[in-house]
């Protein structure tokens, strides 16, 4: 063994992706450990590390009502509240590693619990809870537009709709997703001072009431191939504004998701694939 590894801990991980949104997942149920922000940054580097959008940790829940606890860290080391694509990969990881044999599990997160249901070998349905529009009404009551859950940003020329899917989202409707200035506007809005914890920014092209195209600039990450919670946010906004049906196919750069929501008073569901890329280990 290389002498430099003698005092380091070996940690097994799985590299997974949900429509190109990629993760490493680590089982911390029996052996908990601390990864610093700087370590996570090094591991996430696509040239000198493993490369990933988020790090997901599987932990034991302290509450008997939950099967597991689900933690999410962005590639810059910041812990965040929610990740929809990650939830599907989290569920598949549990199944592949023999950590559960249930058809449906309930996991706790930093905010709301999630229910993960296994449909087929890699198709997973997640109950993402009811979208939350109330937080923004309280925070931005002076600039909310009536019944549209929207504000104006960037010289009052850009209408942005707001919703929380356990994490904050801003959704902008565009005529053509291909030409949308995702990086420029996304970066500008992500760090706007009215969002103290930053915000994810989605660019939505409505093709028809049952089909949208979407690109997402994720906070602390940049544009990703796919964003599950971003797809949920875009559809929730569209349904709340009565421009989308209750069952919508969302086309992202990395593939498609199905989002289902009956409207206010009901939970929102996300259905899509998850894939294992490879298993590996690191020394920390």
Q: Exactly one of 89, 160, 170, 227 is catalytic; which is it?
A: 227
Rounded Cα–Cα distance for residues 82 and 229 (Å) = 7
Residue 208 is assigned to a ligand binding site: no
Element (H, E) at 248: strand 247-252
Which residue, among 51, 86, 92, 62, has the nearest Cα to 72 in the 3D structure? 86
**Does 227 qualify as catalytic in the annotation?**
yes
Retrieve residue 147's tokens: 């019944």
Rounded Cα–Cα distance for residues 137 and 146 (Å) = 10
Rounded Cα–Cα distance for residues 73 and 227 (Å) = 15
Q: Exactly one of 83, 89, 160, 232 is catalytic; which is it?
A: 83
The owner of tokens 């504000």 is 151
Rounded Cα–Cα distance for residues 221 and 161 (Å) = 21
Residue 167 is assigned to a ligand binding site: yes
Residue 37 is assigned to a ligand binding site: no
The owner of tokens 């950590």 is 99
Q: Which residues contact 215 (CB under 8 A, 6 or more apart)?
A: 177, 180, 182, 202, 203, 223, 252, 253
The owner of tokens 């920014």 is 201
Residue 54 is assigned to a ligand binding site: yes
Assess contact for 201 and 216: CB atoms under 8 A. yes
Residue 200 is assigned to a ligand binding site: yes
**Does 176 qualify as catalytic in the annotation?**
no
Residue 228 is assigned to a ligand binding site: yes
Residue 166 is assigned to a ligand binding site: no
Residue 81 is assigned to a ligand binding site: no
Rounded Cα–Cα distance for residues 223 and 53 (Å) = 10
Rounded Cα–Cα distance for residues 268 and 265 (Å) = 10
Rounded Cα–Cα distance for residues 48 and 129 (Å) = 38
Residue 186 is assigned to a ligand binding site: no
Residue 21 is assigned to a ligand binding site: yes
Residue 218 is assigned to a ligand binding site: yes
Evaluated on CA atoms 170, 174, 176, 180, the torsion sign reads: negative
Residue positions annotated with a catalytic role? 83, 227
Tell me the binding residues for substrate.
Answer: 21, 54, 74, 84-85, 167, 200, 218-219, 228-229
Tell me the binding residues.
Answer: 21, 54, 74, 84-85, 167, 200, 218-219, 228-229
């Amino acid at each position: 063994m290389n002498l430099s590894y003698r005092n380091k801990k070996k940690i097994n991980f799985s590299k997974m992706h949900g429509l190109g949104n990629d993760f490493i997942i680590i089982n911390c149920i029996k052996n908990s450990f601390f990864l610093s922000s700087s370590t996570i940054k090094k591991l996430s580097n696509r040239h000198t590390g493993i490369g990933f959008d988020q790090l997901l940790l599987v932990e034991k829940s302290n509450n008997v009502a939950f099967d597991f606890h689900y933690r999410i860290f962005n590639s810059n080391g910041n812990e965040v509240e929610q990740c929809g694509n990650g939830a599907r990969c989290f569920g598949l990881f549990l199944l592949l590693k023999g950590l559960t044999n249930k058809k449906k599990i309930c996991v706790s997160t930093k905010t709301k619990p999630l229910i993960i249901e296994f449909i087929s070998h890699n198709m997973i349905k997640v109950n993402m809870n009811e979208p939350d529009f109330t937080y923004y009404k309280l925070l931005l009551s002076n600039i909310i537009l009536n019944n549209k859950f929207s504000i104006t940003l960037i010289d009052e020329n850009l209408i942005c709709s707001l919703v929380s899917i356990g994490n904050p989202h801003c959704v902008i409707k565009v005529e053509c997703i291909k030409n949308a200035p995702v990086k420029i506007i996304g970066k500008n809005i992500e760090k706007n001072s009215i969002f103290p914890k930053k915000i994810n920014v989605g660019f939505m092209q409505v093709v028809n009431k049952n089909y949208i195209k979407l690109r997402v600039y994720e906070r602390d990450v940049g544009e990703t191939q796919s964003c599950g919670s971003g797809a949920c946010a875009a559809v929730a906004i569209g349904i709340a504004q009565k421009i989308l049906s209750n069952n919508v196919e969302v086309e992202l750069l990395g593939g498609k998701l199905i989002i289902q929501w009956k409207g206010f008073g009901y939970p929102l569901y996300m259905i899509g694939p998850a894939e294992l890329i490879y298993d590996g280990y690191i020394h920390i």
